[in-house]
Amino acid sequence: MSMAQSPEPLDVDRERTRTGMSKTALKQGFLDNLFYIQGRFREVATPHDLYMAAAYTTRDRILERWIKSAQRYKTNQSRTVCYLSAEFLPGPHLANNLVNLGIVETATEAAHELGLDFDAIIAEEAEPGLGNGGLGRLAACFMDSLSTLQIPSIGYGIRYEFGIFDQTIEDGWQVEKSDNWLRNGNPWEIPRPKIRFPVLYGGYTEQYRDHDGRSRTRWVPAQIIDGVAYDTPILGYGVGNVNLLRLWKAEASESFDFQAFNVGDYYGAVHAKIEAETISKVLYPNDEPEAGKELRLKQQFFFVSCSIQDMIRLQFNTVGPLDSFAEKFVIQLNDTHPSLAIAELMRLLMDEHDMDWDRAWDITHRVFCYTNHTLLPEALETWSVSLFERLLPRHLEIVYEINRHFLDEVRVHFLGDEDRVRRMSLIAEDGERRVRMANLAVVGSRAVNGVAALHSELVKTTLFKDFHDFWPDRFHNVTNGVTPRRFMVVANPRLSRLISETCGSDDWIRDLDRLRDLEAHAMDSGLHERWHEVKIAAKRDLAAWLKHRTGVLLDPEAIFDVQAKRIHEYKRQHLNLLHIIRCYQRLKQSPNQDMVPRAFIFGGKAAPGYFMAKLIIKLINAVAEVINNDPQINGFIRVVFMPDFNVKNGQHLYPAANLSEQISLAGKEASGTGNMKFSMNGALTIGTLDGANVEIREEVGKENFFLFGMSAEEVSQRQREGYHPWEHYAKDAELKSDIDLINSGLFSHGDTQLFRPLTDRLVNQDPFMVLADYRAYIACQDHVAEAYRDHRHWTRMSILNVARMGKFSSDRAIREYAEHIWRTEPHPIDL
Candidate list 59, 246, 373, 807, residue with the active-site label = 373
Complete DSSP assignment for 582-604: HHHHHHHH-TTS-PPPEEEEEE-
Q: For residue 271, give Cα distances in angstroms to 251, 254, 813.
A: 12, 13, 46
Distance (Å, whole) CA 795 – CA 528:
6
Distance (Å, whole) CA 586 – CA 754:
24
Maximum alpha-carbon separation in the chain: 92
Q: What's the distance, CA 249 to chain centroid?
A: 21
| Exposure on the CB side of residue 385, measured as CA atoms within 13 A | 14
Distance (Å, whole) CA 321 – CA 108:
50
> CB of residue 361 vs ligand Z15: minimum separation in angstroms?
27
Q: Which is nearer to ligand Z15, 679 or 795 (CB)?
A: 679
Distance (Å, whole) CA 798 – CA 181:
37
Candidate list 510, 535, 566, 582, residue with the active-site label = 566
Neighbours of 683 (CB within 10 A): 26
> CB of residue 87 vs ligand Z15: minimum separation in angstroms?
8
Distance (Å, whole) CA 588 – CA 590:
6
Neighbours of 196 (CB within 10 A): 18
Please list, in sequence order, all residues whose beta carbon lies within 8 angstroms of the beta carbon of residue 488, skipping any fewer than 6 positions away. 495, 496, 499, 509, 680, 681
Complete DSSP assignment for 238-289: TSS-EEEEEEEEEEE-HHHHHHHHHTT-HHHHHHHHHHHHGGGTB----SS-
Distance (Å, whole) CA 468 – CA 461:
8
Candidate list 565, 579, 796, 807, residue with the active-site label = 565
Residue pair 728/772 in contact by the 8 Å Cβ criterion: yes
Q: Is position 648 annotated as part of the catalytic site? A: no
> CB of residue 524 vs ligand Z15: minimum separation in angstroms?
34
Q: Which is nearer to ligand Z15, 240 or 484 (CB)?
A: 484
Residue pair 379/454 in contact by the 8 Å Cβ criterion: no
Q: Which is nearer to ligand Z15, 16 or 566 (CB)?
A: 566
Q: What is the DSSP letter of 88?
A: B
Distance (Å, whole) CA 44 – CA 103:
27
> CB of residue 373 vs ligand Z15: minimum separation in angstroms?
4
Q: Which is nearer to ligand Z15, 49 or 661 (CB)?
A: 661
Candidate list 27, 618, 677, 761, residue with the active-site label = 677
> CB of residue 671 vs ligand Z15: minimum separation in angstroms?
4
> CB of residue 643 vs ligand Z15: minimum separation in angstroms?
20
Neighbours of 758 (CB within 10 A): 21
By three-state DSSP, how is residue 149 classified? coil
Neighbours of 387 (CB within 10 A): 15
Q: What is the DSSP letter of 93?
A: S
Q: Which is nearer to ligand Z15, 496 or 673 (CB)?
A: 673
Q: Which is nearer to ligand Z15, 296 or 796 (CB)?
A: 296
Distance (Å, whole) CA 619 – CA 605:
14
Q: Which residue is nearest to ligand Z15 (CB)?
A: 134
In what order do the strands lie in the sheet containing 684-687?
A: 637-642, 598-603, 559-564, 659-662, 684-687, 706-707
Q: Which is nearer to ligand Z15, 276 or 670 (CB)?
A: 670
> CB of residue 697 vs ligand Z15: minimum separation in angstroms?
16
Please list, in sequence order, all residues whose beta carbon lies within 8 angstroms of the beta carbon of residue 8, skipping any fewer than 6 positions away. none
Q: Which is nearer to ligand Z15, 374 or 628 (CB)?
A: 374
β-pair type (559-564, 659-662): parallel
Candidate list 246, 296, 486, 571, residue with the active-site label = 571
Phi, psi of 748 (to 5 degrees): -140, 35
> CB of residue 635 vs ligand Z15: minimum separation in angstroms?
35
| Exposure on the CB side of residue 784, measured as CA atoms within 13 A | 27
Q: Is position 571 annotated as part of the catalytic site? A: yes
Q: Is position 565 annotated as part of the catalytic site? A: yes
483 Ramachandran zone, left/alpha/beta (phi>0; psi -120 to 50): beta
Q: For residue 585, give Cα distances in angstroms to 171, 529, 633, 827.
A: 24, 35, 10, 61
> CB of residue 450 vs ligand Z15: minimum separation in angstroms?
9
Closest CA to 243 of 427, 68, 394, 362: 68
Q: Is position 566 annotated as part of the catalytic site? A: yes
Q: Which is nearer to ligand Z15, 27 or 476 (CB)?
A: 476
Q: Is position 373 annotated as part of the catalytic site? A: yes
Q: Is position 68 annotated as part of the catalytic site? A: no
> CB of residue 138 vs ligand Z15: minimum separation in angstroms?
4
- Cα three-residue angle 499-830-24, rounded to 5 degrees: 70
> CB of residue 457 vs ligand Z15: minimum separation in angstroms?
15
Indicate the burial class of 372 (C-beta count within 10 angstroms; 0-12, 13-18, 19 or more).
buried
Q: Which is nearer to ligand Z15, 283 or 363 (CB)?
A: 283
Q: Which is nearer to ligand Z15, 163 or 691 (CB)?
A: 691
**Which ranges constitute the DSSP H helices of 504-572?**
525-550
Amino acid letter at 218? R
Q: Which is nearer to ligand Z15, 288 or 714 (CB)?
A: 288
Q: Which is nearer to ligand Z15, 240 or 667 (CB)?
A: 667
Distance (Å, whole) CA 383 – CA 439:
12
Contact residues: ligand Z15, CB under 6 A = 132-135, 138, 287-288, 335, 373-374, 379, 451, 480, 669-673, 691
> CB of residue 653 vs ligand Z15: minimum separation in angstroms?
17
Residue pair 457/695 in contact by the 8 Å Cβ criterion: no
Candidate list 57, 106, 479, 673, residue with the active-site label = 673
> CB of residue 136 vs ligand Z15: minimum separation in angstroms?
7
Give the catalytic positions in this structure.
373, 565-566, 571, 673, 677
